[in-house]
Amino acid sequence: MTCPVALTDHKEGLIVAVRAQPGAKRTGVAGLHGTALKLAVNAPPVDGKANEALRQALAKALAVRPSQVELVGAPTSRDKKFLVRGVNRADLESRLISLVKPG
Span 6-50, pLDDT tens digits: 999 999 999 999 999 999 999 999 999 999 999 999 999 888 899
Q: What pLDDT sits at residue 18?
A: 97
More confident of the two residues 10 and 73: 10
Judged on CB neighbours under 10 Å (0-12, 13-18, 19+), 9 is: exposed
Those residues with Cβ within 8 angstroms of residue 1's Cβ, 6 or more apart along the chain or in another chain: 97, 101
Report field, pTM of the whole predicted structure over 0.85:
yes
Give the chain's domains with CATH numbers: 7-100 (3.30.1200.10)
pLDDT bucket at 103, cuts 50 / 70 / 90: low
